[in-house]
Amino acid sequence: MKIEIKAPVKQNDKIIHLPASKSISNRLLIIRALCEEDFNIYNLSKSNDTRVLINALNHLSVPVIDIGAAGTAMRFLTAFLSITPGERILTGSERMKQRPINILVDILRDLGAKIDYLEKDGFPPLKITGSTLKSKPISIKGNISSQFISALLMIAPSLEKGLTINIDDKILSKDYIDMTLKIMQNHGINFQWNKSTIEVEKGNYSPKEEIVESDWSAASYWFEIISFIKNAEIQLPGLLKNSLQGDSVLTDIYSSLGVQSKFDEQWLSLKNIQTTCRHFEYDFTNCSDLAQTLTVTLAAKGIPFKLTGLDNLSIKETDRIKALVNEFEKMGIHLQTNGKDYLEWQGNETLKIPENHLAKTYNDHRMAMAFAPLAIKNNVLIIDDPEVVKKSYPDFWDDLIAFGFGINNK
């Protein structure tokens, strides 16, 4: 399936209700499952990633749990099921079977977990038999997915003497680890984080009602849209100024890229202003999910850039660095990269979007949503496999229509 996106002739709705944060939702779901008492979580994410996690936690008696393409669910459930009585097979999509999980499995095994690979060593599917894990200091590289570390942190209070994690090297997506710890602390768990060592005390999670804030990653596409349209304005309810989410740096990032941000009690207001940035450099170590949005924004505006801290982009839903290079090459933009941790562009080329251009999504929700606003620059753009947005932002296309975009099936 494909869709054709037409640029808005005029702006319609000025209020867009973003999805709830799936990062916060998924952490709260695991913590609630580990808590001895139930508690309410309001405004849970409706994303596929959260939906499959809810389904898995509600059906722990089934022998096979299939989480599809939900990487967060795979990492969090691997740790959770290792301390949950019973034997289960944890599997996922073909892409999920290509995403390594050996680092997390090796550490859990070292703590006493009973986990076996059923196909290729180091990759899902896994056979997990719940057992009692021992407490001992562990070491983990900081340059791997922060979800591995978060998965270990959330089960740490269940171990006999808690858990000490020593993190080696530069920590990627540190804000997501901080998010995990703050949510744990909000539910009664004590910890100390001293430089590269996190010590989590043994304890019981306490029940506490939660309201999930809106998703800053989803907001990024609206920052991009507003930066492209002269005089455009929009209000986004549910975004917190003092957010748990690292992607809240958007307000600072886009302040020189044509977007004025203003908080009030009900929402965040965005307004198009003059772009003042002439060269852009940023380290995305703590907010790598914004890299695609910024790459498209900067290339469309003709602003030379260097984006660093992209170390884990190649092991996401797709190799995002390679996907960006491929798609921009079709539009006359040649990005420089080592394929590992940076993207650079000299700004010496003009973005040329061919008529009826088809933007591939590579089974990646963020590729679809980051490229969709380019319809503003070309009047018409075709997006391949638009259903991928259900992973994090199921109503994205409906929200574009509400704003004023035209969208038709192809």
Residues designated catalytic: 289
Closest CA to 270 of 237, 243, 233, 238: 233
Which two structure tokens, joined as six digits, stand for 29? 């779901």
Q: In one letter, which amino acid is 3? A: I
Q: Is the dihedral of CA 179, 111, 85, 119 positive or negative?
A: positive
Tokens 């399936």 correspond to what residue? 1
How far is Cα 208 from Cα 211, in angstroms, rounded to an integer? 10
Q: Quick check: helix, strand or coil at residue 212?
A: coil
Q: Quick check: helix, strand or coil at residue 226?
A: helix
Angle at the Cα of 80 from the Cα atoms of 77 and 86, rounded to 5 degrees: 100
Relative to beta strand 41-42, strand 210-211 is parallel
How far is Cα 367 from Cα 393, in angstroms, rounded to an integer? 12
Which element (helix H / strand E) includes 370? helix 365-371
Task: Kindly report the number of other CB atoms within 10 A of residue 53's CB atom.
Answer: 28
46 CB burial (10 A radius; 0-12, 13-18, 19+): middle
Tokens 């710890």 correspond to what residue? 181
H helices present in 97-256, as ranges: 102-110, 146-155, 174-186, 216-228, 250-253
Give yes or no for a cis peptide into 63 (omega within 30° of 0): no
Torsion of CA 217, 390, 398, 222, to 10 degrees: 10
